Amino acid sequence: MRLVFAGTPEFARVALARLHAAGHEIALVLTQPDRPAGRGMKLQPSAVKQFAQQHQLAVAQPASLGLDGKFAAQAQAAQHLLREARADAMVVVAYGLLLPQWVLDALAGPGQWGCFNIHASLLPRWRGAAPIHRAIEAGDVESGVTIMQMDAGLDTGPMLLQERIAIDLDATTAVLHDALADLGACLMVQALENPAALQALAQSDEGVCYAHKIDKAEAAIDWQQPAAQIARKVRAFDPFPGASTRLGEEILKVWGAQAIALKENEHLTVTGLAAHPEGMQGDADPGHRAPATAAMGATTSFVSRQSVPVAAENTTGAGGLIRPGQILTSDQFGLIVAAGAGSFLRITHLQRPGGKRLAVADYLQGHPLAPGLCFDGPAA
């Protein structure tokens, strides 16, 4: 089939490569303009553009497809190229630009199959720019890919194919991204084998969620939140933008974290808690998961949901109140940190500004973190 392909990041490159390998003729590739990236902030081509150039495919990079906007001349040039491509269909994957009606109309003529989209969610859940991140952040137990016939709305078109996969408890956005990119590419090839046989299913108006684009401002950890929610955020924001927390004057990235649960009425010394990680359960809040549509010195503190309440502010003394964000243990197993609602988070990987991502055991070799210190606050 003769295709126009529109996409930009690695997720889209996987689909383009699979379509190319399947023998489809790629008449034109649309991708976003080169962007500054890396330490030198030099202009870098998108992953899709790099593949297109490696395989001598025609590429256009309009900043917009609006025919009457600031970049009208670029849009008009793209319109001409699209007409000249005489494509049977268009495949759109994480392109990053809204398709105006004229693009949809250009692929709606006799003998044409319109515009197909690979969307990384089980529509109608998670329409929008960041469905993978938001599924993990929300605690969804499964995700998937939907092949959709595009219309004028935002991810609102009729569904043609859909396949589900489970989200593992420790899955990060990076891991789920790669799995869904491969699945989406396979489904798109399958769909184009016999598009006449596809049956369109209108999306339900129920269960719709909007996956807002990830903002770097969201990266900061709120230690008043329950540990399970923080752990999901850490996984959702890996690799970008990375969950972060302040310690003194430094902003640390948290790359590995797990909510841990203590049995009711269990009283353990902080040292004993760290020494027996197998006695604690990961994902301390599994019921929340949303349905889809070098050892430091010993301390004498005690950790118990009933005897040691979590304080809203830093409180010391005989009462033994723990502040959210306070480091309770610090050893080769990681950091155990108090979080909201009487919960506890084990941090396993950290990164200092300008440094590498390190397991806590390695991090502590050069940067000791004593129990009692508080993230986002002074030492307890």
Amino acid at 153: G
CA-based R_g, the chain, Å: 25
Higher-scoring residue by pLDDT: 319, 154: 154
The pLDDT mean for the chain works out to 87
pLDDT band for 37, please (50, 70, 90 cuts): confident
Q: Are 142 and 164 in contact (CB under 8 A)?
A: yes
Half-sphere exposure of 267 (CA within 13 A, CB side): 7
Burial 115-138 (b: 16+ CB within 10 A, else e): bbbbbbbbbbbbbebbbbbbbbbb
Q: Report the C-alpha gap between 149 and 216 in whole angstroms.
A: 32
**Residue whose token pair is 């569904």:** 159
User: Cα(72)–Cα(105) distance, rounded to whole angstroms?
Assistant: 18
Give the SS3 label for residue 360.
Answer: helix
Given pLDDT bands bounded at 50, 70 and 90, which one contains residue 267? very low
pTM (2 d.p.): 0.86
Q: How confident is the model at residue 69 (pLDDT cuts 50, 70, 90)?
A: confident
Given the candidates 1.20.120.140, 3.40.50.170, 3.40.190.10, 3.40.50.720, the CATH classification of the domain at 2-211 is 3.40.50.170
The structure tokens listed for 167 are 């989200």
Alpha helix ranges (H) inside the chain: 10-21, 47-54, 72-85, 101-106, 131-138, 173-193, 227-236, 270-275, 360-366
- Could you read off the pLDDT of 146-185 as tens digits, one per residue? 999 999 999 999 999 999 999 999 999 999 999 999 999 9
Position 144: which residue type? G
Domain ranges of the chain: 2-211, 216-366
The CATH homologous superfamily to which domain 216-366 belongs is Formyl transferase, C-terminal domain (3.10.25.10)
Q: Residues 207, 170: contact at Cβ < 8 Å?
A: no
Q: Look-up: residue for tokens 């924001």?
A: 237
Split at pLDDT 50, 70, 90, the class of 272 is very low
Q: Kindly state the average pLDDT of the residues 318-339.
A: 87
Q: How far is CA 76 from the centre of its chain?
A: 34
Q: Contact at 8 Å (CB) between 57 and 26?
A: yes
pLDDT digits (tens, 9 = 90+) for 227-264: 999 999 999 999 999 999 999 999 999 999 999 976 54
pLDDT, tens digit, for every residue of 275-311?
344 444 455 555 456 655 433 333 323 333 322 344 4
